[in-house]
Amino acid sequence: MERKYTWHKIADHINELDFAANNIAVIELKGKKICVGKHREAAFAFAYKCPHAGGILADGYIDALGNVVCPLHRYKYNMENGRNVSGEGYYLKHWPVELREEGVFVGMEESSGLWNIFR
Ligand code: FES
């Protein structure tokens, strides 16, 4: 089934996001803190906290393959699909990011069925 996203503009340009030295920026979207990670020419949005034991992923780092590494126990997650590539069986919540001419957008699925009816 095709997923329906609502796209939220988070910046006019990727360079406007406040990336720390580890290439991770923290933003607030719909009242929720999330991380945006930059790797090569792409950006990825994922949960602020690690699904293992709540490590702050914004304080971790992005490895050469584009995985975010949690600072607490070093579990690794693919930023694009949330897979726990170091093999502990967790799953990182993540959202698609699009870099468009008119800005940077994060897609979030709408949980309410009503939203789709009234759209
Ligand atoms: S809290 Fe992230 S690896 Fe344990």
Name the CA dihedral angle for 80, 42, 56, 88, rounded to a multiple of 10 degrees. 30
CB atoms within 10 A of CB 5: 15
**pLDDT for the residue numbered 114:** 52
For ligand 1, whether the C-beta of 17 sits within 6 Å is no
| pLDDT classification of 116: cutoffs 50, 70, 90 | very low
For 20-59, the pLDDT digits (tens) are 999 999 999 989 999 999 999 899 999 999 999 999 999 9
State pLDDT tens for residues 94-115: 999 999 999 999 999 876 555 4
pLDDT, greater one: 93 or 115:
93
CA 95 – CA 32 distance, rounded (Å): 13
How many angstroms separate the CA atoms of 79 and 46, rounded?
7
Confidence of residue 3 (pLDDT cuts 50, 70, 90): confident
Please give the average per-residue pLDDT across 64-76, as a whole number.
98
Q: Which among 48, 57, 59, 75 is the best mutation to test ligand 1's pocket, defined by most ligand atoms within 8 Å of the CB?
A: 75
C-beta 34 within 6 A of ligand 1: no
What 3 state SS string does 43-94 have? Answer: EEEEECECCCCCCEHHHCEECCCCEEECCCCCCEEECCCCECCCCCCCECCE
Q: For each of the domains in the chain, give its residue range(s) and CATH number, in order of start.
A: 17-97 (2.102.10.10)
